């Protein structure tokens, strides 16, 4: 049977509500929990939007409550991610070692501390040459993030927890450069 003959079947299944709406929205199953900050508030915003869309409309209903406040700009959205703390990482000297991660884009991890600032100044040219992407794994405010970005103006530097990388690669400290072939302090 070719695809065009299957279209009525797919439409019947989808229109019957088998894959949409409240019947499909099930309780999340936790496969693994490594701690950290709950993402529940982000999902609740989506659920609230679905609930409002599914609610009956009538002139007798009261006016809907104000929608959740969404960031007006990328910088506001990014500021909502701060502060970032990586519980498994601290400033310090990470021993160099070889790894095998073919195809990995070079990644550097830094924090809002003097050791990271000195490291960024010293390694800026090398980071730029390999087109490394940075993660600010310990930063408290948009101003602190901006001051780090000014040290590496041509590179991407985003706030993100480094705990997953730390646990996968056995890292304890930052600043560090992770490439496809090794970890360099």
- pLDDT computed for residue 146 by the predictor: 95
For 129-140, give one letter per residue: b (16+ CB within 10 A) or e: eeebebbbbbbe
| 23 belongs to a structural domain | no
| 37 belongs to a structural domain | no
Entry pTM: 0.62
For 34-61, give one letter per residue: b (16+ CB within 10 A) or e: eeeeeeeeeeeeeeeeeeeeeeeeeeee
What contacts 10, CB < 8 A, 6 or more positions away?
Answer: none
Q: The domain containing residue 121 runs over which residues?
A: 90-184
- Our CA angle for 84, 88, 94, nearest 5°, is 110
| 1 belongs to a structural domain | no
- Our CA angle for 125, 127, 129, nearest 5°, is 70
The Cα 173–Cα 138 span in angstroms is 11
Given a cut of 50, the residues of the chain with pLDDT beneath it are 1-25, 58-61
- pLDDT computed for residue 20 by the predictor: 44
| 153 belongs to a structural domain | yes
Query: Is the backbone of residue 38 left (phi > 0), alpha (psi -120 to 50) or beta?
Result: beta
The Cα 114–Cα 58 span in angstroms is 60
- pLDDT computed for residue 97 by the predictor: 96
- pLDDT computed for residue 73 by the predictor: 67
- pLDDT computed for residue 14 by the predictor: 41
| 178 belongs to a structural domain | yes
- pLDDT computed for residue 22 by the predictor: 47
pLDDT digits (tens, 9 = 90+) for 93-136: 999 999 999 999 999 999 999 999 999 999 999 999 999 999 99
Comparing CA positions, the residue from 178, 175, 164 lying closest to residue 87 is 164
- pLDDT computed for residue 77 by the predictor: 72
The upper half-sphere exposure of residue 7, i.e. CA atoms within 13 Å in the direction of its Cβ, equals 3
Structure tokens given for 1 = 């049977």
| 107 belongs to a structural domain | yes
Structure tokens given for 98 = 């070889």
| 140 belongs to a structural domain | yes
- pLDDT computed for residue 183 by the predictor: 97
| 77 belongs to a structural domain | no
Structure tokens given for 44 = 């609740």
**Number of domains comprising the chain:** 1
């Amino acid at each position: 049977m070719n695809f065009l003959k299957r279209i009525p079947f797919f439409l019947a299944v989808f229109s019957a509500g088998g894959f949409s709406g409240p019947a499909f929205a099930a309780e999340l199953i936790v496969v693994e929990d490594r701690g950290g900050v709950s993402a529940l508030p982000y999902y609740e915003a989506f659920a609230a939007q679905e609930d409002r869309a599914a609610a009956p409309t009538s002139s007798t209903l009261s006016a809907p409550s104000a929608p959740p406040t969404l960031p007006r700009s990328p910088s506001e959205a990014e500021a909502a991610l701060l502060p970032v703390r990586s519980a498994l990482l601290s400033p310090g000297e990470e021993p160099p070692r070889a790894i095998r991660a073919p195809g990995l884009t070079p990644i550097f991890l830094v924090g809002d501390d003097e050791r990271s600032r000195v490291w960024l100044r010293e390694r800026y040219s090398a980071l730029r040459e390999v087109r490394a992407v940075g993660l600010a794994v310990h930063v408290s405010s948009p101003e602190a993030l901006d001051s780090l970005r000014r040290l590496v103006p041509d590179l991407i530097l985003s706030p993100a927890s480094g705990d997953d990388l730390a646990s996968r690669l056995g890292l304890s400290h930052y600043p560090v450069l992770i490439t496809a072939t090794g970890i360099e302090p």
